[in-house]
A = this chain, B = another copy of it.
């Protein structure tokens, strides 16, 4: 029984080198429309996403929930018929969330704000801490500030992230989260609170990791939602105007004060692991194609878009290629552990497998919305291969990009070591509405766009897994 996707993949994956070396656009059936995609019964990716998020839910790296997710993953990948399914363990430091509450306490009546601790945040202790807020309009303003504006204060970093289809604002706006607390700690701040790195207007703040340099003592670090940050800024402005008098600044602003209760804990070294499965290739000498995602998630939501969907997409695509006929190269599925808290899984994979030859690596870790662009970082020998790939995905609404592929966190070490990479860039317009929030739940996944991902990945993977040794390392 061959369904339309299988028929299409059989065509794409055909072993005739003649087929592989000529443009495929003439040989393939017209692409399915969105309505057709929506009605298809091939819901492998949906069922993986639903089952993982329902039966396991949040799966913070190094916790019992992540271990349960790995057991679930091994069983699921085995039941799908993949070979060499295993859990490759590694050790990592574990940080877990505690209580989290915050209030704007003065000069107005106390008002509660929605806060979440950032990964590696220190604890305030159960009684919490209270202090004056030092306001900074951006990360850059904090970096430029003299110590006296920071010392003994709770630093607040403003700067609202704007949405972008390619998610390109994350690096720029994200600096406040990535290292804002470190900068503030070095200047003597007692805590750091950032406007959450997110594009939504809901009171569900975005968590994520923050990094302290070696030798810098961590301070409590949290993120508040956009509506709460708006409120803080309005109160800040009013507080500035509330008590003017003669000083060198022209007035003494009324202090805006905040109380924080954040009680996260470091649990020490625990075990995580990478779950790996394979579609064995016909040619044992050929290097494998690696398709990656991460199995762990932050603890606030159920990790549906980040990254159950990515794991579902790469496994579903590998399954379709396998069903269509054994490929020449091995496809290696990497469901990495402990990505969110420091890419420990990606590093562990590289330590164990980095010296092996890899043909090419791809990662799905940007939600479940449609693929809209394909980018390449391939050797010169793969020029014709890239043309074939671009032609194969074009009918599904995917354009060819001009910048080099980035790879992704879990395959980052491989790509840095020279392994070729391809990005199937997903539409990130709404990704940072949900990213790292309690709202990252199954209902946010659009089944039609999820299927488009699987179709595009299947087409690409079929071609890559049958590529020639003269094309890829």
* A391 part of interface (Cβ distance < 8 Å): no
Instruction: Specify which chain B residues have a CB less than 8 angstroms from the CB of A109 in the assembled complex.
Output: 56-57, 64-65, 68
Contact B111 A201 (CB under 8 A): no
Please name the residue on chain B nearest to A107 by beta carbon: B55
**Contact assessment for B111 and A238 in the assembled complex, using a CB-CB cutoff below 8 Å:** no
Q: Which residue among A65, A109, A201, A204 has the maximum number of chain B CB atoms within 10 Å of its CB?
A: A109
Q: Give residues 207-247 of A contacting B (CB, 8 Å).
A: 226-227, 230-231, 234-235, 238
Q: Which residue of B lies closest to A444 (CB)?
A: B201
Q: A251 at interface (Cβ–Cβ under 8 A)?
A: no
How long is the Cα–Cα vector from A230 to B108 in the complex, in angstroms? 38
| Band of interface residues on A | 35 or more
Q: CB distance B58 to A203 under 8 Å?
A: no
- Whole-angstrom distance between the alpha carbons of A201 and B446 in the complex? 13
Residue A380 lies at the interface, judged by CB distance under 8 Å to chain B = no
A363 touches B (CB below 8 Å): no
Instruction: Mark each residue of chain A from 290 to 310: 1 if its CB lies under 8 Å from any CB of chain B, else 0.
Output: 000000000001100000000
Cα distance A441–B228 in the bound complex, in angstroms? 9
Q: Which residues of A contact B (CB under 8 A)?
A: 50, 53-58, 64-65, 68, 108-109, 111-112, 114, 201-204, 226-227, 230-231, 234-235, 238, 301-302, 437-439, 441-444
Identity of the chain B residue whose Cβ is nearest the Cβ of A104 in the assembled complex: B57
Evaluate contact between A54 and B202: CB separation under 8 angstroms. Answer: no
A349 to B441, CA, bound (A): 46
Q: Nearest-CB distance from A54 to chain B (Å)?
A: 5
Do the beta carbons of B443 and A227 come within 8 Å of each other? Answer: yes
Contact B238 A54 (CB under 8 A): yes
Contacts of A442 in B (CB 8 A): 227, 230-231, 234
**How many monomers of this chain does the complex have?**
2
Check if A54 sits within 8 Å of B227, measured CB to CB. no
A55 → chain B closest CB, angstroms: 5
Give Cα A26–Cα B446 distance, bound, in whole angstroms: 51
15 additional contacts, CB 8 Å, given A57-B109, A203-B301?
Answer: A50-B234, A54-B108, A55-B108, A56-B108, A57-B108, A57-B231, A65-B109, A202-B202, A202-B204, A203-B437, A203-B438, A203-B439, A226-B443, A227-B441, A227-B442
The answer to whether B441 touches A238, judged by C-beta atoms less than 8 angstroms apart, is no
Instruction: Pick 26 A–B contacts, CB within 8 A, sort by A.
Output: A50-B234, A54-B108, A54-B231, A54-B238, A55-B108, A56-B108, A56-B109, A64-B109, A65-B109, A68-B109, A201-B439, A201-B441, A201-B443, A202-B202, A202-B439, A203-B204, A203-B438, A203-B441, A204-B204, A227-B439, A227-B441, A227-B442, A230-B441, A230-B442, A230-B443, A231-B441
CB–CB B234/A54 < 8 A: yes
A111 to B57, CA, bound (A): 7
Distance between A384 CB and nearest chain B CB, rounded to angstroms? 45
Q: Inside 8 A of A57's CB, which chain B residues have their CB?
A: 108-109, 111, 231
Instruction: Report the minimum CB–CB distance from A232 to chain B (whole Å).
Output: 10
* Bound-complex Cα distance A114 to B57 (A): 14
Shortest beta-carbon contacts, A-B, top 9? A203-B438, A57-B111, A227-B441, A54-B234, A202-B202, A201-B443, A227-B443, A55-B108, A202-B439
